Every structure is written in structure tokens, then in C-alpha cells.
Amino acid sequence: MAEEDMLLSADPECSRACPTETPTVKELEELLYTGRPSCNHVDEVWPNLFLGDHNSVHSRFDLWKVGISHILNAAHGTLFCHEPHDFYGATVEYYGVPAHDLPDFDISPYFHPAAEFIHKALSTPGGKILVHCILGKSRSAALGLAYLMIYHNFSLRDAIERVLQHRAVCPNRRLLKQLQGLDLEMQRKKSPRRLL
């Protein structure tokens, strides 16, 4: 197993590094390749939570037909996503995450705010949210996975398996590592520390 793929806990109660249940990047990539071979411009991956590509947000009429009330743009302000906040009109709430699909971009500071926006959308009566980026497979998928982990207590592996039932996604290695970090954070919150 490559050292960069091994994720170890920083639990101070362990006298040495403790392996966690969080899968390695290699294991996650293998899991991602078991998913659907293709996807549509937009797919519902959780009740009223849609993941899509940039083409899925060009028609306000199509968004209205589906009943989209919230849009989370995971590529806000990047080369192909320059819509202003008011592009969708007053009936759609918009949140933009200026994430770049680059090997050194850290999307993790947006995990909790994006998950909160998704949760707010889905808690709104009749609320439906579309999370998109350019291809709808990496940045938007990472934020959708983070939502399932934060608000529905899914492990990273379970969240990926759930999304793969409905859409082919493939967050890049950097995003997978950041999702591993979130997985560890959520595991720590679930299991209280042992008392000495």
C-alpha cells in the first residue's frame, strides 16, 4: 500500500498510529470505477438533491419545470461559470463556491457551509437543490458527498455507494483526500473519547 494512500488517525490516545476505517484513496478510486458508466446532465442522487453539469443550469425554464428552488454552483467564478447571482431570478436561492479543479485546491473549508445550504434547501417545503460544477463529477460530487456525511451520518464509502447508484462521479485525488479528512472528523464526533 502506498504511503500517500494510507490514512492514519492522529488520536493522541494511541501510543502509535491507529489505522481507521476510512478507505485509502486507491480503494476509493476503485469504488468510484464500479459506478454507472455514464450520467445525464443532471441526476437526482438523494431525494430532491440533484447533481449536474454546467449545461444543466442554462435553461431557467427547465429548472422551473423540475422545481429547482436552490442552486449551489461548485465552480462559481471559474472560466466557464460566470453567471451573476441574479441570473436565476428571485425564485431561486443561489450559493457559489469558487472551487477550482486543480490539484492544490482545498475545498474542505466549504464542506460545512455547502452542506448547511443543501440542508436548508431540503428543509424548505417543496425545496429542490441542484449542485453543479463544469462536468458534474468532481467538485459538485465532493460537496454532495460531504452533505450526506455531515447531515445523514454516512461514512465516506457509504455516501459514495449511495451516489453511484444514480450518477457516475469521480472526485479527483485531492478532493478524495479532503473527503477522507471529513470522514475522520465525522468518526471522531460519533465515537466519544475513551476515559483514562
3-state secondary structure of 8: strand
Q: Is residue 47 part of a domain?
A: yes
Render pLDDT for 58-97 as a digit per residue (tens, 0 to 9).
778 888 889 999 999 998 865 555 565 666 778 889 998 9
- Please report which helix (H) or strand (E) contains residue 187, including its range: helix 173-190
Look at 21 and 51; give whichever has higher pLDDT. 51
Domain containing 156 equals 43-178
Q: The pTM is what?
A: 0.82
Residue given cell 489505522 in the structure block: 19
Q: Is residue 191 part of a domain?
A: no
Q: Cβ of 175: how many Cβ atoms within 10 Å?
A: 24
The C-alpha cell at 178 is: 479532503
Res 116 pLDDT > 80 = yes
DSSP 52-107: E-GGGGS-HHHHHHHT--EEEETTTTSTT----GGGG-TTSEEEE-----STT---
pLDDT for the residue 19: 41
Q: Is residue 111 part of a domain?
A: yes
Q: How many domains does the chain have?
A: 1
Render pLDDT for 15-50 as a digit per residue (tens, 0 to 9).
333 444 788 888 888 888 886 666 789 999 999 999
- Which of 39, 81, 133, 170 is catalytic? The answer is 133
CATH number at residue 81: 3.90.190.10
Q: Is residue 13 part of a domain?
A: no
What is the distance between the alpha carbons of residues 34 and 175, in angstroms, rounded to a whole number?
18
User: Which of 28-37, 42-51, 103-112, 182-191 shows the lowest mean pLDDT across its residues?
Assistant: 28-37
Q: Is residue 184 part of a domain?
A: no
What is the distance between the alpha carbons of residues 156 and 161, in angstroms, rounded to a whole number?
9
Residue 81 annotated to the active site: no
Beta bridge partners of 19: 8
Q: Is residue 6 part of a domain?
A: no
